[in-house]
Amino acid sequence: MGDLDKYTEKGMELLMTYAPKFILAIITLLIGLWIIKHFIKILGKTFKEKKLDESLSPFLLSLIGVVFRILLIISVASMIGIQMASFIAILAAAGLAIGLALSGTLQNFAGGVVILLLKPFKVGDYIESQGEGGVVKEIQIFSTILETFDGRTIILPNSPVSTGTIVNKTTKPQRRIDLTVGIGYNDDIDKTRKVLAKLADEDTRVLKDPLYDILVSEMADSSVNFAFRIWVNSADYWAVYFDMTEKVKKALDANKISIPYPQMDVHVQK
């Protein structure tokens, strides 16, 4: 019984010593997380009012949030009574182990920094990378968020994006639409060229500088192919692409110019 009383007394002593510190540390942690959350929101509004680069803003907010949370955890640990020198040593060792385990994540962080420094694209650009394409919505610490025209969200790790091929289709104010128009071998080439030129001249969205091209590009198996190349403002690209494709079909039909099906002549020799 004496030993039990001794241990009970020791336990109560430890409880009375550390319980208030532990409770205070928990309260500090919760309040600190709440303050950091709202501070990040206010900072985000400030960035927006100051018109900070939309590509840089999410990255900075995420980074600041992580740094503040680490500082909060260190402060809470010191309140409990953990020695800072020991805690920092443990944190460094843990950081090394986590760094080795999450080397890919650190590479993604480095990739995000490279993207923000070199600016191969920014928020709002349409890019193609890693076999995916979409409009850039956010550049975060570890990933780049794309949104496709059909409403899908694509999350690309920053490391392969920063080191791989990036096709940015919105850096230039103008883009060229390349249409392939096939006609039959018996149809009139000059007439076809006039029909296509009229379509380009009548559409106000088609630019006159650079001027469109209508070139015979190929003598294919069952058709004579035209390269119909028109320049438009980048914002009009898809609208003109689909409209012009439909107009070409209707114009060729109206002028009795055939669009041949793929075909093969088979000669049977007896």
Are both 220 and 237 inside the same structural domain? yes
- At residue 10, the pLDDT reads 63
Are both 46 and 126 inside the same structural domain? no
Q: How many domains does the chain have?
A: 3
Residue-range definition of the domain harbouring residue 47: 2-101
Are both 47 and 88 inside the same structural domain? yes
Residue 267 lies in a domain: no
Q: How far, CA to CA in Å, does 217 sit from each of 69, 199, 241, 242, 258?
A: 62, 19, 19, 21, 17
Over the range 73-90, which residues count as b (16 or more CB within 10 Å of their CB) and which as e? eeebbeeeeeeeeeeeee
Are both 248 and 180 inside the same structural domain? yes
Are both 133 and 204 inside the same structural domain? no
CA distance 134 to 156: 11
Give the CATH number for residue 184: 3.30.70.100
Domain boundary residue among 101, 126, 151?
A: 101
**HSE value, Cβ hemisphere, 13 Å, CA-based, for 254:** 9
Give the CATH number for residue 135: 2.30.30.60
Residue 265 lies in a domain: no
Could you list the pLDDT tens digit for every one of the 270 residues in the chain?
A: 555 656 566 666 655 666 677 777 788 888 888 888 888 888 888 877 777 666 667 777 777 887 788 777 777 777 776 665 655 666 666 565 555 445 567 788 888 888 888 888 888 888 999 889 999 998 888 889 999 888 899 999 998 998 889 999 888 889 999 999 999 999 999 999 999 999 999 999 999 989 999 999 999 888 999 999 999 998 899 899 999 999 999 999 999 998 887 766 677 777
- State pTM to two decimals: 0.56
What percent helix, strand, coil does the chain show, rounded to 5?
Answer: 55, 20, 25
Are both 245 and 192 inside the same structural domain? yes
Residue 259 lies in a domain: no
Are both 218 and 241 inside the same structural domain? yes
Give the CATH number for residue 33: 1.10.287.1260
Domain boundary residue among 136, 168, 200?
A: 168
E runs forming strands in the chain? 126-129, 132-139, 143-147, 153-157, 166-168, 174-183, 213-219, 224-233
Residue 72 lies in a domain: yes
- At residue 124, the pLDDT reads 86
Residues in the chain: 270
